[in-house]
Homo-oligomer: A and B are copies of this chain.
Amino acid sequence: MKIPEKTVRRLSLYYRCLYFLSQQGAYNLSSKSLADLLELEPAQVRKDLSYFGQFGKKGKGYDVLELKNEIAKILGLEKGRKVAIIGIGNLGNALLSFKGFEVLGFQVVAIFDNSPNKIGKKYHGKICQDISAFPAIVRREKIDIAILTVPTESAQEVARLVSNSGIKAILNFAPAHLNVPKGVAVSNIDLAVELKSLSYFAGQKQ
């Protein structure tokens, strides 16, 4: 069955709530209380979960830890995902400095650039590899996701290289539409789209 993309995105949000609730010692919650935390409808939560199975108990709700683990399984997070960052400039370095990856269950196992000034140097404890070594390192390290923080002009070219190396998921920060083969998932984090949409919703300037 085809799962709506929005459902998958909400599962990530549910996971985060469950993670914090479990840390706070909560052991049970209802679809209503989860929905309230995220300003959603309870039916939405139940429907989303129902695509994947029956995780709750009538009259009781869901076991926090159990549901968290079920969602981790659905999202493929149990074993930890391996990530590469390509393009070690401003943004690439900010991401590298980000302590949150491990908490998220992701591990940055390799970093790449094409600049002779950067290849071989250490950034946040990791040696920057030559982008041309990418296909070999992907195979060796079993990398799951490539994060692209390269200039816009290079993004398509790098996306092609990445796709041809067998990577099935790309997180792209460059403001460009990437053409990739079917079967490769691309998420775009696009500052321009966000700012311009906000500009619209903030209303016309008086």
Task: List the interface of chain A (C-beta within 8 A of B).
Answer: 5, 8-9, 11-13, 15-16, 37-39, 74-79, 81, 83, 90-91, 93-95, 97-98, 100, 104, 106, 144-145, 168-171, 175, 177, 179, 185, 187, 189-205
Contacts and interface: CB of A to CB of B under 8 A. Distances in A.
22 contacts: A11-B196, A13-B193, A15-B196, A16-B192, A37-B177, A39-B177, A75-B196, A75-B197, A76-B202, A76-B204, A78-B205, A90-B94, A90-B97, A91-B94, A95-B191, A104-B191, A104-B196, A169-B198, A169-B199, A170-B198, A171-B198, A189-B194
How many copies of this protein are present in the complex? 2
B197 A144 contact: no
B15 A75 contact: no
Contacts of A16: 175, 192
Contact of A168 (B13, B79, B203): B203
B93 A197 contact: no
A104 B197 CA distance: 12
A197 B106 CA distance: 12
Contacts of A76: 199-200, 202-205
Nearest to A40: B177
A74 B97 CA distance: 38
Please list the 3 inter-chain residue pairs (A to B) with the smallest Cβ-Cβ separation, ordered nearest first.
A94-B94, A185-B201, A169-B202
Contacts of A97: 90
Nearest to A93: B94
Contact of A75 (B74, B190, B200): B200
A185 B15 CA distance: 24
Nearest to A198: B169
